Amino acid sequence: MRGKTVIRSLLSIVVSTMVMAVAPVFVTAANAEEPPGGYQSKPKEVEPIHICAGCVAPLFSEGSKGSLTPYGRIELDALYSTRNTNPLDPQQFNGYGTAAGRNGNSSSSLNPRYSVIGLRADRTDGVNTLTGVVEVDFYGQTDNANNLPPRLRLAYMKYSPNNGKTSFTIGQDWNPIMSLLNNDIDFSIMGYTGNLWNRIPQVTVRHNFTENWQVLVTAMRFERGLDNCCGNVQSRPTTNTGANGGGPGSTIAFNDPVQIPYFGTRLAYNGTGNLAGTMLAANVAYRYYRSAPTPTGVLATPGKDINSYLVGLEVTHQITKQLNFMGELAYGQALGNEWFRWNQDLNWLTGSAVRTMTSWLELSYAHSRDYTFLFGYGIDNPLDRDLKGSINAYGTTPGSLGYNSSIQYLSNQRTYLTAIHPVWGGLIMGAEWQHFWTNWAQPTTITSKQSNQADMFTVSAWYNF
C-alpha cells in the first residue's frame, strides 16, 4: 500500500507539472468573464511559450483566434514544342521563354513540376491581423532520375495593426512593383516577353487611404550571387584567397557588387460603382551599384556606375460582364533578376546598362460557367544599340554547339490562345497554344540578326485544393 501511495504521489507531481507547462496556452472563459459581484479569482500570470531552445522572443497566443490552412495544386502539363523549348530544365528559363533551339528540333514532355503545396496561418483579435504563408513547388535545380526536389516559392508574414488598412509584408512574396499577372497556363507567365515579375525577398508597406486609393513603398532584392548562367556572375576583386569559413575567398556569393536593394513605390486606384473592375496603377523603382568583373571575364568592362530604374503602368478594365482587359507598359534600364530577366541587364562587352521597353495585354472572355477563353500578347524590346557587341554565349557557325541559340536577345515576342474548362470541384482542364518570335543579339553587330520562331502546345489538368 505504501508503495502504491508513493507511485500515486509521483504521478500527481508529473501530471501537475505537465498541466502547468501547457497551461499558458489555454485561458479559461470562467476567469475572463466573471459576472460583476461574483467570485473574483486572482488573474493568471501569462507565461511565455518558447518554440525552440534558441528562441529569444517568447510566443504569446492568448487574446486572438487563429487558423491553419493547408492548400495546393496537383498539376500535369503535356507539352509539345517545335524548337525544343524545355520547361523541365530548371536552368533553361530563357530557352523556355524564347524561341531557342534548332529549327525543326521538336520535343514533347510530361511536366509535373508545377504542382504546389502551401500552408497558411491566420490570426486576429478583431483589430490586429497576422498572416503567414510558406509555399513550394518542384522546380529545384536538379533532376536526378526523375526525383524532383522542392523549391521555396513564398515565405512571408503580413501584419496589420488596423484590420487591413495598413499592412507590413516581410519575407518572400510576389513582386510588389508591376504586380499585375496574366492568366495563361504557361509556367513562366510571360517572363522574357513583357511581364516583369518574380517572387522576391522584401519589406513592403501598403496603406489604403480610401476605398479606392492604395499606396505602397518597398525595399526588395533577389538573393545575392545566385545568377548561375554563362559565367556572368559579377564579384568584386579580392587580394587573397581567404581561408576556411568564408572571407575574401568567397567571391561569388558574398562579393556581389549589388549592395543595396531596389526601392520602389506604387500608387493604385481601384474603381467602385460604375467603375467596378477597373484598376490603374503607376510604379517607380530604382537602385544604384558599381559593376564588377566576372570570374570568366564575360563582363569585359567593369567599374561602371549602374543606375537601374523602372517606370510602369498597369491597367485592368471590365469591358462587359463577360469581357475583361488587362495589361502593362514599362520602360527601364539594367533590369535583371528581380524582373525575371536573367542576364538581360548589362551589355556583356561594354558593361553598360541595357535599356528596354516591355508590354503585354490580355483579353479574357467568360463564355459561360464552363468555358473561359484568353488571348494575350507580350514583348520585351531592348534598345538595339545598347546590345551592340554583347557576347553571344553559344555558337554562331552553322553546325556548332548551340547554333541558333543564345542568352541575350534584341526583342522577344509571344502570342497565346488559351481555353480553360472547370470539370468538377477543383479539377480544371486547359489547352494553350503559344507562338514565340525572337531576334537574337549577335557577337559583332546588331545588323546580323538571327530570327527564330517557335510554337508550343500545352494540355493541362490541375486540381486546386
Pick the last residue of a domain from 45, 63, 81: 63
Residue-wise pLDDT tens digits, 148-188: 889 999 999 999 999 999 999 999 999 999 999 999 999 88
One domain, residues 72 and 48 = no
As given in the structure block, the three cell numbers for residue 283 are: 510604379
Coil vs helix vs strand at 459: strand
| Spatial distance between the Cα atoms of 129 and 24, rounded to a whole number of angstroms | 21
* 252 pLDDT more than 70: no
Expressed as residue numbers, the domain containing 45 is 1-63
Going by C-alpha positions, the residue among 170, 160, 137 that lies closest to residue 71 is: 137
Residue-wise pLDDT tens digits, 71-108: 999 999 999 988 766 655 545 566 678 887 667 778 88
Residue-wise pLDDT tens digits, 101-157: 667 778 888 889 899 999 999 999 989 999 999 999 998 777 677 788 899 999 999
| Spatial distance between the Cα atoms of 412 and 439, rounded to a whole number of angstroms | 6
Task: Estimate to the nearest angstrom the gap between the alpha carbon of 1 and the chain centroid.
Answer: 68
Going by C-alpha positions, the residue among 14, 57, 39, 81 that lies closest to residue 434 is: 81
One domain, residues 100 and 179 = yes
pLDDT band at 22 (very low <50, low <70, confident <90, very high): very low
One domain, residues 370 and 241 = yes
Residue-wise pLDDT tens digits, 305-358: 999 999 999 999 999 999 999 999 999 999 998 999 988 999 888 889 999 999
One domain, residues 257 and 360 = yes
| Spatial distance between the Cα atoms of 291 and 339, rounded to a whole number of angstroms | 18
Percent of the chain at pLDDT > 70 equals 72
As given in the structure block, the three cell numbers for residue 93 are: 528559363
Contact 328, 314 (CB under 8 A): yes
One domain, residues 55 and 74 = no
pLDDT band at 11 (very low <50, low <70, confident <90, very high): very low
One domain, residues 217 and 310 = yes
Pick the last residue of a domain from 44, 63, 82: 63
Q: Phi first, then psi: give them for residue 243, nearest 5 degrees.
A: -145, -175
Contact 151, 138 (CB under 8 A): yes
pLDDT at residue 289, as a whole number: 93
Contact 417, 46 (CB under 8 A): no
Report how far apart the first and last C-alpha atoms of the chain are (Å, whole number).
58
Q: Which residues contact 374 (CB under 8 A, 6 or more apart)?
A: 183, 184, 362, 363, 364, 365, 416, 417, 418, 419, 420
Task: Estimate to the nearest angstrom the gap between the alpha carbon of 34 and the chain centroid.
Answer: 50
H or E element: which one contains 314?
Answer: strand 305-318
| Mean pLDDT score across all residues of the chain | 81
One domain, residues 51 and 90 = no
pLDDT band at 14 (very low <50, low <70, confident <90, very high): very low
Pick the last residue of a domain from 16, 36, 63: 63
One domain, residues 18 and 120 = no
| Spatial distance between the Cα atoms of 463 and 465, rounded to a whole number of angstroms | 6
One domain, residues 218 and 339 = yes
pLDDT at residue 62, as a whole number: 64
One domain, residues 29 and 119 = no
pLDDT at residue 449, as a whole number: 65
| Spatial distance between the Cα atoms of 390 and 412, rounded to a whole number of angstroms | 16
One domain, residues 97 and 20 = no
Residue-wise pLDDT tens digits, 202-231: 999 999 999 999 999 999 998 765 555 667
pTM of structure? 0.83
H or E element: which one contains 285?
Answer: strand 279-290
Residue-wise pLDDT tens digits, 402-423: 444 567 889 999 999 999 999 9
Map grid coordinates 479569482 to a residue.
41
CATH code where residue 343 lies: 2.40.160.10
One domain, residues 40 and 88 = no
Please state the domain count of the chain: 2
